[in-house]
Amino acid sequence: MKEKESLCDAPIGVFDSGVGGLTVAREIMRQLPNERIVYFGDTARVPYGSKSPETITRFSKQIARFLRTQDVKAIVIACNSASACALDALEEETEIPIIDVVRPGARTAIEATHNGKIGVIATEATIKSGLYKRYIEENDKCVSVVGKACPLFVPLVEEGLWEDPVTDEIARRYLVELIDIDIDTLILGCTHYPLIRSTVGRIMGEKVALVNPAYETARELKRLLEKEGMASAKKPELGTEMYRFFVSDAADKFREFANSIIPYGILSAKTVNIEDY
């Protein structure tokens, strides 16, 4: 009994290549206000989206090992590139539940589409993995999926050009082929993209539903914790730190960006030498 209680009190581990996964953490904070979070952003090796599956998997394993040292009860891979490349490997070496962002996003898109034409925009690594396409088409034979890598979106978001003619122009170039084939549902398949949601929405037009996997990922996590009897039933006691943030580099810069995304105020971020794990 005691053990079960302390398991419920344990935090959720959430990780990303950098700051993008904070959009997922934010959604977990909203939907699961009793849960503590330990967030890790791999800011020393960001970005993942342009790197190979082998490297992304090696990095993700190191992070999962670090999160285990923080006694997390579940791990959320809040990075599409890591979800697409490293999920199987992580599930193999970790006994606690692992939630990725790709499968929840894919399921929402299947529910949302009417004409059976879904688009996915994401990093090169996520698109190359083909995981969204495979997972959706396996689950619904009547749906077809077209993916488009948008490598400039992450640097544009990190430069703060969320509403800017340059971002408009680049988005138009990336999205034209998805408009041409008349998709009615578009997955924002990179955790940075919700931050330029309004630009993407304006270009795609009102008839296209935008799917943000962060929302569905948090719901999935909630379902899982309840099913396994691992959910925290109450707010942690006064004095317990709800949210802890770790990065592999430049904690100050992380904190600054994070505070523009997370409404709760990030008191501190600690630096970890992730290569040691």
Q: Which residues are catalytic?
A: 79, 190
What are the structure tokens assigned to 263, written together?
């409404």
Positions 119 through 158 that interact with a copy of itself (CB under 8 A):
151-152, 155-156, 158
What are the structure tokens assigned to 34, written together?
């009793």
Burial of 228: CB neighbours in 10 Å, binned 0-12, 13-18, 19+: middle
CB of 50 to a copy of itself, least distance (A): 8
Can you tell me the distance from the alpha carbon of 144 to that of 110, in angstroms, rounded to the nearest whole number? Answer: 10
Residue owning tokens 């990030």: 266
Is there binding between residue 236 and a copy of itself (CB under 8 A)?
Answer: no
Burial of 152: CB neighbours in 10 Å, binned 0-12, 13-18, 19+: middle
Distances (CA, A) of 202 to 169, 181, 194, 209: 12, 17, 13, 11
Is there binding between residue 57 and a copy of itself (CB under 8 A)?
Answer: no
Stretch touching a copy of itself by CB under 8 A, among 50-58, 69-77, 184-192, 214-222? 50-58
CB of 124 to a copy of itself, least distance (A): 9
CB of 49 to a copy of itself, least distance (A): 11
- Candidates 15, 16, 19, 51: give the one binding a copy of itself (CB under 8 A): 51
| 219 CB neighbour count, 10 Å cutoff | 16
Can you tell me the distance from the alpha carbon of 15 to that of 40, in angstroms, rounded to the nearest whole number? Answer: 5
- Candidates 52, 69, 240, 260: give the one binding a copy of itself (CB under 8 A): 52
Q: Which is nearer to a copy of itself, 52 or 139 (CB)?
A: 52
Positions 19 through 48 that interact with a copy of itself (CB under 8 A):
43-46
Q: Which residues would be at the binding site for a copy of itself (CB under 8 A)?
A: 43-46, 50-52, 54-55, 151-152, 155-156, 158-159, 165-166, 169-170, 248-250, 275
